């Protein structure tokens, strides 16, 4: 079994926001006691609607924000809790972030070569020649000619800008990338090109990914394992082949039913109604209960906990508690 380079246990992230009584701060729980692993050289797809906590989870993993509680272990170093900040510095170069917006993530005042070289400049120790050679190598790695280093980001298409962002993420030769909806702003043909690029880079360099998306069809083409997130919590986790063939949680089933398929005679399930509840004022019990077509009385008062129903397959749903 491949070793896990990322281990997340009982992770929680709270934000204090205005809205409490008498001017007090209310607590918004964006990530609610989640646990998962990512194996060396593999991809975990993290899927859910907007507002489910996916991007917050990604930012927690690379240390862009700090956890409220729980544990994150990266490459054998626990970066949460006392002393976590110092341990984070020892592994920081091994991980990078690929942002959703390929335009907003690049400084429009900087030439492409300087955007890509920013991480190199941050650590220092590169001569001007070494810096230029590394930028040229990175551009060619992501399928762009080295001559574009002197151009500005606005001169490129969205797909080309995302390639530039990926090149920058690879500058320090990381082993783990958090890809936060890296293709959601691109058209379908460009999405396929970027997915193929990420798969090629994974094969060449042995990279591990957390691939965040709201589209299960996109995740299917890149992830080995899939975790489905709803209102800050993980409701189902399974190997890709298992989850797509036999989804268990009603929310996962609804997401898969919403994926377009070239089957004109297929009878589609009714569209999932409603929206993710406010995480400032979540419903008691299961957060999905107001929208669930299979809701039971206990769902409205008792929160289901994730439990294994098969090897590698975990579900947080009262329907499966007898199978634990």
Strands across the sheet containing 77-78: 25-39, 4-18, 69-74, 77-78
- 12 Cβ contact list (under 8 Å, min separation 6): 29, 31, 32, 33, 67, 68, 69, 70
Q: How far is 13 from 103, CA to CA, in rounded Å?
A: 28
DSSP 287: T
More confident residue, 148 or 20: 148
pLDDT at 89 over 60: yes
CA dihedral sign of residues 54, 236, 293, 285: negative
Distance (Å, whole) CA 84 – CA 60: 12
Sign of CA dihedral 198, 139, 99, 185: negative
Q: Residues 126-158: pLDDT tens digits?
A: 999 999 999 999 999 999 999 999 999 999 999
How would residue 124 be classed by pLDDT, with cut points 50, 70 and 90?
A: confident
> How confident is residue 3, by pLDDT bands cut at 50, 70 and 90?
confident
Residue-level pLDDT at 31:
97
Which residue in this structure is represented by tokens 């709201």?
Answer: 214
Considering only residues 55 and 258, tell me which one the structure prediction assigns the higher pLDDT. 55
Among 58-67, 185-194, 228-237, 271-280, where is mean pLDDT lowest?
A: 271-280
Give the pLDDT confidence of 189-205 residue by residue, as tens digits: 899 999 999 999 999 99
Write down the mean pLDDT value for the chain: 91
What is the per-residue pLDDT for 282? 85
């Amino acid at each position: 079994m491949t070793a896990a380079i990322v281990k997340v246990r009982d992770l929680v992230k709270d934000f204090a926001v205005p809205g409490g009584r008498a001017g007090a701060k209310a607590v918004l729980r964006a990530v609610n006691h989640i646990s998962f692993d990512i194996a060396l050289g593999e991809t975990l797809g993290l899927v859910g609607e907007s507002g489910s906590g996916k991007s917050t989870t990604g930012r927690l993993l690379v240390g862009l924000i700090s956890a409220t509680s729980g544990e994150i272990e990266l490459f054998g170093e626990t970066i949460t809790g006392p002393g976590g900040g110092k341990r984070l510095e020892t592994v920081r170069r091994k991980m990078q972030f690929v942002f959703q917006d390929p335009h907003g993530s690049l400084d429009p005042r900087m030439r492409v070569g300087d955007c890509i070289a920013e991480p190199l400049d941050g650590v220092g120790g590169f001569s001007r020649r070494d810096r230029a050679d590394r930028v040229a190598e990175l551009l060619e790695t992501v399928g762009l000619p080295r001559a574009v280093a002197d151009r500005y980001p606005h001169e490129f298409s969205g797909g080309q800008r995302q390639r530039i962002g990926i090149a920058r993420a690879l500058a320090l030769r990381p082993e783990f990338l958090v890809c936060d909806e890296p293709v959601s702003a691109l058209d379908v043909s460009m999405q396929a090109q970027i997915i193929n690029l990420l798969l090629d880079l994974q094969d060449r360099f042995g990279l591990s990914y957390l691939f965040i998306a709201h589209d299960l069809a996109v995740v299917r083409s890149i992830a080995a394992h899939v975790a489905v997130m709803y209102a800050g919590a993980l409701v189902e986790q399974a190997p890709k082949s298992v989850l797509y063939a036999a989804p268990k949680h009603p929310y996962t089933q609804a997401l898969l039913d919403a994926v377009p398929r070239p089957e004109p005679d297929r009878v589609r399930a009714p569209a999932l109604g409603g929206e993710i509840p406010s995480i400032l004022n979540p419903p008691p019990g299961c957060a999905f209960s107001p929208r669930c077509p299979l809701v039971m009385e206990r769902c409205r008062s008792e929160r289901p906990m994730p439990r294994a129903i098969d090897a590698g397959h975990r579900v947080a749903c009262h329907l499966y508690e007898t199978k634990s």
